[in-house]
Structure 1
């Protein structure tokens, strides 16, 4: 893509030769578009900013070997942005997975812990069939998302989204003790 007289190819070649101002020109040209796209993939401002920054850092790091299939770097940047967003989502899912057992095991009183766990199991049982099965496989039985996806004939993305949604619901029950 050309804006003025400089092509994206020229910007990438300048970056490949260590020109930091070329990175700034690429950022000026595409940051707004990448930010809007990142908002479609992430819910948190900090995550969006990190995803966009990581995308431009990847551009900087790969400039020497980057071959643009078109006269614009935008499609490549969008794919990189999407990949960084998915990686951010996976990191957060692992962090949440680590936090949920700690929250369930936190009470010193075993009777209280059993009671909390009963509410969680009740909430899981109340989920729609597919969500319930995914929670049982991933959260209770310890299967990976890809294993659960294969067992249920779903995509890994679908399993990830359903687990995330169910975890939010379960966390709300555990943390707010709605019952």
Structure 2
């Protein structure tokens, strides 16, 4: 479904904070996939990632009236909330495992902390880089890379030619790959 108006987090956050369910749904649709994949990368479990995603948006709904958006994207704030929710879930699960003694022939599962930290750092790097893109490029990235729009559907939603979406998305992906490659 094409967007009815230009995508603007600042305006949507203000309207959602004032109680607009429509504005909140727009924010949810815009960011549910990146938040889910961040949660999944941290937790490595689809059900836990779904739960943390929902918890993240519940926190957002409750805190939007008091939120002072820094920058013009809600995604970095949502990513921070998601990481806190995932950390809380991991602590809760660890406490539950500690209270249930393993049987002698059970081997405890070891977490690869270094890998989780590296993945979280990569996600943070990508979010920062996406936050520095122009408004049009962020819109193209959000629609195509996170929401799965086709080039044509994204072009129609953003009011630009199909070729602009295709070319800019290619440059954005190359830029993100280079940033990630340089950080490793």
Unpaired runs of at least 5, structure 1 = 105-115, 125-130, 132-156, 162-179
Aligned residues: 109
- Which residue in 2 is equivalent to 1:5? 6
List aligned pairs for 1:9-158, cutoff 5 A.
Answer: 9-100=10-101, 103=102, 116=104
1:116-137 per-position Cα deviation (integer Å, ceiling 9, x unaligned): 4xx78xx89xxxxxx9xxxxxx
- Name the SS for the 2:100 alignment partner: helix
Please report how far the alpha carbon of residue 46 of structure 1 lies from its aligned counterpart in structure 2 after TM superposition.
Answer: 1.1
How many angstroms does 1:6 deviate by?
A: 3.8
Q: CA deviation at 1:86?
A: 0.3
Moved over 2 A (4+): none
Match of 1:169 in 2: none
TM-score, normalization by structure 2: 0.53
TM-score by length of 1: 0.54
Helix, strand or coil at the partner of 2:19: coil
Structure of greater Rg: 1
The gaps in structure 2 that reach 5 residues or longer are 118-184
